[in-house]
Structure formats: C-alpha cells, structure tokens
Amino acid sequence: MSKLPILLSIPHGGTRKPAELEGHLSITNKDLFDDSDPFVVELYDLGDKVERVIKTDIARAFVDLNRSLQDMPPDNPDGLIKSKTCYDKPIYANGQEPDDSLRMMLIELYYNPYHQAIQKSIDELNLKLCLDCHSMASFAPYFSPDKSKSKRPMFCISNNDGKTSSSEMMELLADSLSKSFSIDRQEISLNDPFHGGHITRTYGNNPIPWIQVEMTRNQYLAEPWFDDKTMTMDQFRLKELNKMFERTLDLFFDKIKF
C-alpha cells in the first residue's frame, strides 16, 4: 500500500524540559501540561502511512516552534521563548528569564532543526498537502484571539484566509472530518478562531498547500476518558481518534483532484 502524499507537522506535542534551563524554572507540571497540546502525537502521528511525520519532544512553553524568530517577550509573553504560559502563568523564577545568549542556544538546538526538517521534506518528497496538527482548549485561554468568546467548535481548520491552500481543499477536509469523526459539519470552523500559525503561513503554498488543524480537547481530555486528578488518559480513546484521523485523510485523498 502506497503512502499518502502528505507531511504531518506536530510542533506542540512535547513535554520535555530542556536541560539548558535547569535552575531557571518556576513552572509547575500542571501549568506545563495545560500549556502544551496534550497527547497530540498519539492523536495525529500516522507513522509510515504518510510520507513523513515531523514532531518534537520539547514543550512549547520553552521553545514554541510555531512562532517567528522575531516573536519574543516582552512584546509577546507567549512568543517563541516565552515568559508566561498561554494561561498567564510565569515560566521562570524571578530574575531567571533566559538572556539573549541562552535564547540563541535554545533556538539553535531545538527551533532551527525542526524548521530545517520541514524544508528538507518539502525539497525531497513528492508532497500534495501538509498539515500542521494541534489541539485547542474547549474555551480560549488568556493569550488567545478569541478569549472573550464562548465555547469553541469541535475542529478549526485554517489556511490563512485562503492564502495557503485552496477553498476546495478546506471544504473537502472539513467534510472528511465531519464524516470520519461523526460530527455535524457546523462543528468544524474555517479560519475561526485561528487563521493559521507561523508554520502554516511560512510554508503554505511555498510550494505545497498547507492547512492548520485544531481538534478540541473535549474529545479526549474529558470524562470518561481522562482523569484530571491523576492526569491519566484512556489510551484506547487516543487510538480511536487516531484511526478517525487516518480515515479522514483516506476520504480526503480518495476525492481530491490534483
């Protein structure tokens, strides 16, 4: 069976603390968990069923791979090297924030290799589509474009308002998600609340179409699958959602015309 001609990017799936930050941190494990995209590797990684999967084990609280090199505190506390989590919780002990030298080290060790892997994949593979894969909180956190709005949809897919993929691809992906996950099409939002992050905007249609996918966490980080007190997850549920995602891509590539 041939691989699907797609690249899956999972930039927020890690939870590891970089050794270079030892002695600097004040963030709790709970705040680190809440700031991450929990279990997204298990949700989206399809292994050798697709051309390539790019992922990281470094938590986005420390190095956010979906930010530009210019996106830094204090202008944006939720930037590439953050000062606060997306819930406005401090990451570093007072006076222990990374200086310019440490920032550059983190970028060289963790940020640049991820983006180099994306560019290498674009250059050497015969790709038809790339997806940047994320999860989103059911209600918007503090640093979010929709924090004053109500509950989020089941999925948000985005193409920078038409700049990184065709409308046909967006509609077909939305229809495929709806059918595979057995959810109403109205529960899949296009470019709202997200329009596509740095990765999607940078690599989209340059030259490969690119779409950002956000799955709401209430599809798995909720009863009966997740115990908030013990932070334990029903692995069967993750496998079930992973199979639904795989079927989504099968449906999409069965119908798309390139």
126-164 confidence digits (pLDDT tens): 999 999 999 998 766 555 665 656 678 999 999 999 999
Q: Is the pLDDT reported for residue 64 higher than 60?
A: yes
Q: What is the pLDDT of residues 110-124, one digit of tens each?
A: 999 999 999 999 999
Per-residue confidence at 1, pLDDT binned at 50, 70, 90? low
- Could you tell me the CATH superfamily of domain 4-255? Zn-dependent exopeptidases (3.40.630.40)
151 or 218: whose pLDDT is higher? Answer: 218
Q: What residue ranges in 93-244 does DSSP mark as E strands? A: 129-136, 155-158, 188-190, 210-216, 226-227, 232-233
β-pairing, 210-216 vs 155-158, is antiparallel
Indicate the pTM of the whole model: 0.94
β-pairing, 4-10 vs 129-136, is parallel
Angle between helical axes of 235-255 and 167-181 (0-180°, round to 10) = 140
Distance of alpha carbon 84 from alpha carbon 76, whole angstroms? 9
Q: What is the pLDDT of residues 174-186, one digit of tens each?
A: 999 999 999 999 9
What is the arithmetic mean of pLDDT over 216-233?
A: 92
